[in-house]
């Protein structure tokens, strides 16, 4: 049994029914491979995999949650844009279509990925910069409303950029950070948040899916807890956008930002998206006031007057070329629907955990992610103190996962581009390599 890291066996997940009587190990492997092939044949999203560059090779890609594969159509789309749009239209391209692109893409992300009505989502800067702008806007806005609201609440195991930003903004604005100590195999739970917020809380910053454990927060409940305490809430959607359904409007989000180069396959450094609830927009001012956020931009007036709407969260010229590749994935999600994407994502992580139980638990591997799929996003963390070495050797064999200190192998399973057979091939390789490393260690001992 793969013991959930840091949790009692009693909370372990209910296991898929085993074939009985229990077969020999080699037969188990065969049964799992047969299961993978059946699952691929039955997978209604399987055809999407053929639309990604490189998916037809033997490489195992367990990092689509860090940098998604390029869609084939995106390669063609970017080239066509460079030749026809940039090359043909030159500066005339800004007239309408390029200027509108950050807002049009934002609305498409809003509609198919994050559950937001039009006019609340814009694509623009990097995730870090957008998070900064939104955090600053929220902290300043709250301070204007109530000078006692000076605390930013965030989990102490949140993604580094989020923690560093909060630290910097607190120093810059004379605010205080309230670090919530979280269980690293989970994340910011409702109980922890409820105990941390109060009349001094200005802003809660939370990840919808933990980058480490994949813990899936109950975003509606956490938003309610923040609001009941009079705080605003900013959701980091980097590890959920394109993998887990999100209902920003229905769940009462105030602010959110997320990556587009992970599950949305926008390419390295593709610009992030920001969401600001419509009634908050006129109340909040972001700190990087540039001409793209100013009302009547081309009047080039003497002073800064922000747009009344989501455009005020823009700053400078948007990176148009960087926005093109994600369109191909948005088309796939618009076609498939996030419910189907999530269903496959759960099936993939369940299969990965089944395989890990069978193949890796006997070698001492434990689960660093929630065992219950209802509390887990699109990746799985596996712990063993040999994982750093194991991951380095896996890369040499074209099995590409992520190592996360201490001792974590992070397996990201992008639902549109990952097959069940790929999961099987990858976890079998983890077993082979881990055995090898352990045998060498034993030899040295």
Ligand X SMILES: *Cc1c(COP(=O)(O)O)cnc(C)c1O
Q: Does residue 275 interact with ligand X by CB under 6 A? A: no
Q: Which two tokens stand for residue 396?
A: 């040499």
The yes or no reply on residue 126 touching ligand X (CB under 6 A) is: yes
Cβ distance to ligand X smaller for residue 68 or 93: 68
d(CA 118, CA 242): 18
Pairing of β 121-123 and β 273-276: antiparallel
Contact call for residue 85 and ligand X (CB under 6 A):
no
Which conformational region is residue 269 in: left (phi greater than 0), alpha (psi within -120 to 50 degrees), or beta? left
- Among the listed residues 420, 418, 339, 408, the one whose alpha carbon sits nearest the alpha carbon of residue 380: 408
83: Cα separation from own chain's centroid: 32
Q: How far is the CB of 235 from ligand X (least distance, A)?
A: 10
**238 contacts ligand X (rule: CB under 6 A):** yes
Q: Considering only residues 128, 297, 428, 432, which one is a binding residue for ligand X as defined by CB under 6 A?
A: 128
Q: Find the part of the chain contacting ligand X (CB under 6 A) among 217-225, 231-239, 304-312, 325-333.
A: 231-239
Does residue 207 interact with ligand X by CB under 6 A?
A: yes
Helix 338-355 to helix 326-336 angle (10° resolution) is 90
Q: How far is the CB of 131 from ligand X (least distance, A)?
A: 7
Nearer Cβ to ligand X (223/243): 243
Q: Among 162, 254, 354, 422, which residue sits at the site for ligand X (rule: CB under 6 A)?
A: 162
CA distance 340 to 47: 13
First to last CA, the chain: 27
| Strand pairing report for 60-61 and 399-400 | parallel
3-state secondary structure of 432: helix
Binding piece for ligand X, criterion CB under 6 A, among 84-92, 145-153, 159-167, 337-345: 159-167
Residue 236 is a binding residue for ligand X (CB under 6 A): yes
Angle, vertex CA 100, rays to CA 94 and CA 101, nearest 5: 95
Q: Which strands, in side-by-side order, build the sheet including 379-383? A: 366-367, 379-383, 408-412, 402-404
Which residues participate in catalysis according to the annotation? 159, 236, 261-262, 410
* Nearest-approach distance from CB 230 to ligand X, in angstroms: 25
Binding of residue 289 to ligand X (CB under 6 A): no
Question: Bridge partners of 63?
Answer: 412
Could you say whether residue 273 binds ligand X (CB under 6 A)?
no
Closer CB to ligand X, 207 or 366, in the complex: 207
For ligand X, the closer CB: 266 or 306: 266
The number of residues that bind ligand X (CB under 6 A) is: 13
Check residue 402 for interaction with ligand X (CB under 6 A): no
- Please state the closest distance from residue 62 (CB atom) to ligand X, in A: 16
Of the candidates 258, 219, 247, 233, the residue with the CA atom closest to the CA atom of residue 105: 258
Residues near ligand X (CB under 6 A): 126-128, 159, 161-162, 207, 211, 236, 238-239, 259, 272
């Amino acid at each position: 049994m793969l013991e959930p890291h840091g949790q009692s066996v009693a909370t372990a997940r209910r296991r898929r029914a085993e074939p009985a009587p229990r077969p020999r190990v080699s037969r188990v492997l065969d049964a799992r491979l047969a299961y993978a092939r059946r699952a691929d044949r039955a997978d209604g999203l399987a055809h999407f995999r053929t639309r990604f560059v490189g998916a037809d090779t033997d490489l195992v890609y367990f990092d689509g949650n860090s940098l998604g594969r390029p869609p084939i159509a995106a390669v063609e789309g970017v080239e066509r844009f460079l030749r026809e749009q940039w090359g043909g239209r030159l500066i005339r391209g800004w007239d309408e279509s390029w200027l509108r692109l950050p807002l049009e893409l934002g609305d498409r992300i809003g509609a198919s990925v994050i559950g937001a009505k039009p006019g609340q989502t814009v694509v623009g800067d990097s995730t870090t910069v957008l998070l900064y702008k939104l955090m600053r806007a929220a902290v300043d806005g709250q301070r204007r409303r109530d000078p006692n609201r000076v605390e930013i609440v965030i989990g102490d195991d949140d993604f580094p950029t989020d923690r560093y930003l909060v630290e910097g903004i607190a120093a810059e604005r004379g605010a205080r950070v309230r670090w919530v100590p979280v269980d690293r195999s989970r994340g910011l739970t409702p109980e922890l948040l409820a105990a941390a917020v109060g009349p001094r809380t200005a802003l809660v910053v939370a990840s919808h899916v933990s980058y480490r454990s994949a813990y899936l927060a109950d975003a509606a409940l956490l938003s309610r807890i923040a609001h009941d305490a009079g705080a605003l809430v900013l959701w980091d959607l980097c590890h959920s956008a394109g993998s887990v359904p999100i209902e920003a409007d229905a769940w009462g989000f105030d602010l959110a930002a997320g990556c587009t180069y992970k599950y949305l396959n926008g390419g390295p450094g593709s610009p992030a998206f920001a969401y600001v609830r419509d009634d908050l927009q006129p109340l909040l001012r972001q700190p990087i006031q540039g001409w793209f956020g100013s009302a009547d931009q081309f009047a080039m007036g003497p002073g800064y007057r922000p747009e009344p709407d989501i455009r005020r969260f823009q700053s400078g010229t948007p990176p148009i070329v960087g926005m093109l590749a994600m369109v191909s994935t948005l088309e796939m999600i618009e076609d498939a629907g996030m419910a189907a994407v999530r269903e496959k994502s759960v099936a993939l992580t369940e299969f990965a955990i089944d395989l890990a139980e069978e193949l890796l638990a006997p070698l001492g591997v434990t689960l660093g992610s929630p065992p219950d799929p209802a509390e887990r996003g699109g990746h799985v963390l596996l712990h063993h103190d040999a994982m750093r070495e194991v991951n380095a050797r896996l890369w040499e064999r074209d099995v590409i996962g992520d190592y996360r200190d201490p001792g974590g192998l992070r397996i990201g399973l992008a639902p549109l581009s990952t097959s069940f057979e790929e999961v099987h091939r990858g976890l079998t390789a983890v077993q082979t390599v881990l055995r090898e490393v352990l045998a060498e260690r034993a030899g040295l001992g």
